[in-house]
């Protein structure tokens, strides 16, 4: 590949890019550095940087310890970052079982479920339920694409949280939603109101 930087410079840039965005794939890094994917893999190994799945898993494990309104196995996608009652981020890799066989387009309920479970996860409550949702699908999502959902609390009134979720593929918004999430007092609910 033409105009590629020398190895030391390339590895420095690779470390910098991954520290800024730990979710970059080897393919994306290869494009940025103008080298082959095997070169990126060799550089990562030399630098002791794990592959993207392991990096995502580590970040996700740290985020899961904070949430209490939903169990980690109930979240659709990988919870990457959470600041309770403020915002959160999740990533969902589109796999063959999520798409219609003929068109390779993702079934909408996966996109909605990622956004909804993220909205519930960022509420700091023992129990949080979806009270209402206004959603919009902006374009089809296809097999192999990566959905990045970002949720932000935009309002709170007592135990009701209004949360905006924007889901993107790269820099293009493919889904947006406004969710009303209700925090339920479990003790009050268990005692019959």
Confidence of residue 22 (pLDDT cuts 50, 70, 90): confident
For all residues of the chain together, what is the average pLDDT?
A: 87
> How confident is the model over 162-171, as a mean pLDDT?
96
Alpha-carbon distance 71 to 60, whole Å? Answer: 13
Instruction: Match domain 7-49 to its CATH number in 3.40.50.300, 1.10.10.10, 1.20.1260.10, 1.10.510.10.
Output: 1.10.10.10
Taking alpha carbons only, the member of 108, 120, 140 closest to residue 71 is: 120
Q: Per-residue pLDDT tens for 129-153? A: 999 999 999 999 999 999 999 999 9
The CATH architecture that domain 55-190 belongs to is Roll (3.10)
> How confident is the model over 58-69, as a mean pLDDT?
59
Q: Count the neighbouring beta carbons within 10 Å of the beta carbon of residue 116.
A: 24
Within the chain, all domains assigned CATH 3.10.129.10 are found at 55-190
More confident residue, 49 or 155: 155
Q: Per-residue pLDDT tens for 70-121? A: 776 788 898 888 889 999 999 999 999 999 999 999 999 999 999 999 999 9
Alpha-carbon distance 53 to 42, whole Å? Answer: 16
């Amino acid at each position: 590949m033409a105009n590629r930087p020398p190895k030391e410079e390339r590895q420095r840039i690779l470390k910098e890019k991954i520290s800024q965005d730990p979710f970059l794939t080897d393919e994306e890094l290869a494009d940025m550095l103008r080298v082959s994917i095997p070169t990126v893999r060799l550089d990562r190994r030399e630098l002791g940087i794990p592959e993207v799945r392991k990096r995502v898993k580590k970040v996700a494990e740290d985020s899961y310890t904070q949430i209490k309104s939903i169990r980690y196995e109930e979240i659709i996608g990988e919870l990457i970052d959470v600041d309770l009652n403020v915002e959160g981020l999740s990533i969902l890799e589109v796999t063959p079982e999520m798409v219609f066989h003929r068109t390779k387009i993702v079934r909408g309920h996966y996109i909605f479920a990622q956004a909804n479970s993220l909205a519930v996860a960022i509420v700091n409550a023992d129990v949080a339920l979806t009270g209402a949702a206004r959603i919009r699908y902006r374009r089809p999502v296809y097999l192999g694409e990566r959905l990045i959902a970002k949720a932000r609390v935009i309002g709170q009134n007592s135990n009701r949280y209004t949360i905006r979720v924007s889901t993107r593929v790269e820099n293009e918004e493919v889904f947006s939603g406004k969710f009303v999430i209700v925090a339920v007092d479990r003790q009050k609910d268990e005692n019959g109101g």
